[in-house]
């Protein structure tokens, strides 16, 4: 079966469904607290496939690889130091196995380095570009359908990521920011700045993930939409974590409450919709149902 | 406030490191009280920076350059503070918990605490519970400040609190926690003494914990 590509599906009418959270869901499936999720790519691959399959079954058109923290800079201080290529390739293979026989696509996830670029932090721009390029090459070689640079907070780092990625692959790239100070990133970046400065850099879509409350994320999306003509990627958290009786973080937005917002997100302009931290397969199923409903009855 | 202290104060708020060091030197040369330079120049400036951050006027970059200006001035001032026997606001052992490598927030907290005249022992990131215990033991710290950015690592705050209990140190220190995924409720649940949503409020909370 020849799959329709990401760009083909983006050119169609309607909204695509992304996946939900990786970290919080793996943790509820037994990932040891404090362990990076990438450890399970090598040690518990069936759990990674299982979660991805649950998202596909819930209605995801695109699932992300478990490689958010798999850049060489981030792996350096973990037990996976030096295993960047193995982790990225395996994670891509696991995602591909999970979508086998379905039209769903695989997006290679690339997170921030976790360090600040000079002069504010210790990281050289060239080292950042090299690390991003390397991860992008591993993921592209493994055959992912697109790449997603996500949870970005610094324009300079996002630009370094795009530079590095575009040096090694022509795959479509999505660039997504986390506005975790409400409608500004921790570096003070506004959605409009993201729209103005990232839109011209050859990205296929531009977006928002993680962040804080659903209300703030929605406000940020309106600001972003007004500053770009690119399709919008929207993957908010299911609220902020609360603690359950056994001491595990849970999220305060129910699947129904999150899904109820979907028509509004679509009317604002979201073209790709999923969820970040706290978004379980149940949340995603409810979101997908709303997305599909809006496609059957396109009142807007 | 005299002119030099005012200049130190505004150079820190504006993050002008060179001006800060020049003015601190000038103030010392003129025989200004070290404690006045510290409190009226530096601590007051960092309090204002914290306020601007809370109000959404300043973000991480502005806070970092201000903290750096403050730190370079403080480094010059330190020998004079020791000589004049100026007491710190308290001693804090700080670190990002085990499994978590994020140190941007923790570094900001350390800088803001220093800017409020606390003595800070920074254990870095991915800090083992035993290391916290050992540091408290060695330094006689007043406060243990823990940071976590990941929902997957924040439970290690509780593990560290348990380790302090097991070592018989829990009653000797106050525990302050913070980090993006945390809430006051979570802090209460794990038995921390204080929670702060950002670096600026960490200072206020640390002060209230010392006063308590």
Domains detected in chain B: 3-83 (1.10.1240.10), 91-211 (3.40.50.280)
> Cα distance from B83 to chain A (closest Cα, Å)?
33
Instruction: Determine the pLDDT at residue B45.
Output: 96
| A181 Cβ under 8 Å from any chain B Cβ | yes
Question: What pTM was estimated for this model as a whole?
Answer: 0.89
Higher pLDDT, A36 or B93: B93
Of residues A35, A120, A185, nearest to B64 (C-beta): A120
The answer as to whether A218 is a domain residue is: yes
Cβ atoms of B188 and B153 within 8 Å: the answer is: no
pLDDT average, residue stretch B105-129: 94
CA atoms of B163 and B137, how far apart (whole Å): 12
Of residues B56, B100, B183, nearest to A241 (C-beta): B183
| A31 Cβ under 8 Å from any chain B Cβ | yes
Instruction: Determine the pLDDT at residue A1.
Output: 59
| B96 Cβ under 8 Å from any chain A Cβ | no
Question: CA-CA distances (angstroms) from residue A200 to A8, A162, A292, B168?
Answer: 21, 11, 31, 59
Q: In degrees, to the nearest 5, what angle opens at C-alpha A162 toward C-alphas A155 and B61? A: 20
Of B112, B110, B119, B114, the closest CA to residue B141 belongs to B119
User: Which regions in chain A score pLDDT beneath 70?
Assistant: 1, 33-34, 243-249, 298-300
CA of residue A44 relative to chain centroid, distance: 21
The answer as to whether A222 is a domain residue is: yes
The answer as to whether A1 is a domain residue is: no
Domain count, chain A: 1
If 0-12 CB within 10 Å is exposed, 13-18 middle and 19+ buried, where does residue B159 land?
middle
Instruction: Determine the pLDDT at residue A296.
Output: 79
Which residues between 45 and 84 in chain B have a beta carbon less than 8 angstroms from any beta carbon of chain A? 56, 58-62, 64-65
CA atoms of A275 and A269, how far apart (whole Å): 16
**Chain A contact probe: residue of B71, B101, B190 with most A CBs at under 10 A:** B101
Number of neighbouring beta carbons within 10 Å of residue B71: 17
The answer as to whether A35 is a domain residue is: yes
Task: Return mean pLDDT, chain B.
Answer: 94
| B31 Cβ under 8 Å from any chain A Cβ | no
Q: In terms of residue numbers, what domain contains A198?
A: 6-296
Task: Return mean pLDDT, chain A.
Answer: 94
The answer as to whether A216 is a domain residue is: yes
Give residue-wise pLDDT tens across range B185-202: 889 999 999 999 888 899
The answer as to whether A244 is a domain residue is: yes
**Unique residue bearing structure tokens 């129910």:** A254
> Cα distance from A202 to chain B (closest Cα, Å)?
27
The answer as to whether A113 is a domain residue is: yes
Nearest-Cα residue of chain B relative to residue A178:
B180
CATH number, domain at A181? 3.20.20.330
Instruction: Determine the pLDDT at residue A300.
Output: 47
Instruction: Determine the pLDDT at residue A280.
Output: 96
CA of residue B109 relative to chain centroid, distance: 5
Contact B101 A248 (CB under 8 A): no
Instruction: Determine the pLDDT at residue A244.
Output: 66
- Indicate whether B180 pLDDT > 90: no
Contact A34 B97 (CB under 8 A): yes
pLDDT average, residue stretch B121-135: 96
| A190 Cβ under 8 Å from any chain B Cβ | no
pLDDT average, residue stretch B128-132: 97
In this prediction, does ipTM exceed 0.90?
Answer: no
């Amino acid at each position: 079966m020849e799959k329709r590509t990401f760009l083909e599906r983006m050119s169609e009418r309607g909204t695509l469904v992304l996946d939900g959270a990786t970290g919080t869901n793996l943790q509820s499936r037994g990932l040891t607290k404090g362990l990076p999720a990438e450890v399970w790519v090598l040690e518990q691959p069936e759990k990674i496939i299982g979660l991805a399959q649950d998202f596909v079954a819930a209605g995801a058109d695109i699932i992300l690889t478990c490689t958010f923290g798999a850049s060489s800079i981030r792996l350096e201080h973990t037990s996976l130091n030096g295993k960047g290529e193995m982790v990225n390739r395996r994670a891509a293979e696991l995602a591909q196995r999970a979508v086998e026989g379905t039209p769903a696509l695989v997006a290679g996830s690339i997170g921030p380095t976790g360090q600040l670029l000079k002069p504010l932090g210790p990281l050289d721009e060239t080292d950042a570009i090299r690390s991003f390029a390397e991860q992008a090459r591993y993921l592209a070689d493994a055959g992912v359908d697109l790449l997603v640079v996500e949870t970005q907070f610094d324009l300079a780092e996002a630009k370094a990521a795009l530079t590095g990625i575009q040096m090694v692959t022509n795959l479509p790239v999505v660039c997504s920011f986390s506005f975790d100070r409400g409608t500004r990133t921790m570096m003070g970046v506004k959605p409009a700045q993201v729209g103005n400065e990232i839109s011209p850099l050859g990205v296929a879509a531009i977006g928002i993930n993680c962040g804080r409350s659903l209300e703030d994320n929605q406000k940020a999306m309106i600001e972003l939409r007004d500053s770009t003509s690119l399709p919008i990627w929207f993957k908010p958290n299911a609220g902020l974590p609360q603690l359950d009786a056994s001491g595990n973080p849970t999220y305060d937005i129910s699947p129904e409450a999150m899904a109820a917002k979907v028509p509004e997100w679509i009317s604002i302009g979201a073209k790709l919709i999923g969820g970040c931290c706290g978004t379980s397969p149940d949340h995603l199923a409810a979101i997908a149902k709303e997305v599909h409903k809006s496609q059957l009855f396109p009142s807007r | 406030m005299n002119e030099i202290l005012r200049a130190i104060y505004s150079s820190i708020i504006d993050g002008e490191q060179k001006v800060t060091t020049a003015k601190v030197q000038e103030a010392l040369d003129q025989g200004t009280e070290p404690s006045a330079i510290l409190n009226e120049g530096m601590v007051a400036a960092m309090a204002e920076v914290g306020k601007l951050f809370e109000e959404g006027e300043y973000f991480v970059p502005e806070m970092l350059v201000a903290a750096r200006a403050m730190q370079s001035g403080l480094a010059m001032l330190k020998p004079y503070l020791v000589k004049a026997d100026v007491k710190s606001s308290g001693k804090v052992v700080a670190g990002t918990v085990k499994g978590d490598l994020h140190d941007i927030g923790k570094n900001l907290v350390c800088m803001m605490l220093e800017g409020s005249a606390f003595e800070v022992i920074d254990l870095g990131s991915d800090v083992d519970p035993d290391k916290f215990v050992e540091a408290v033991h060695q330094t006689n710290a007043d406060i243990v400040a823990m940071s976590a950015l990941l929902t997957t690592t924040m439970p290690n705050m509780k593990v560290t609190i348990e380790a302090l209990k097991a070592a018989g140190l829990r009653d000797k220190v106050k525990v302050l926690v913070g980090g993006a995924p945390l809430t006051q409720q979570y802090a209460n649940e794990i038995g921390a003494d204080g929670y702060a949503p950002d670096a600026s409020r960490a200072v206020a909370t640390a002060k209230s914990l010392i006063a308590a």
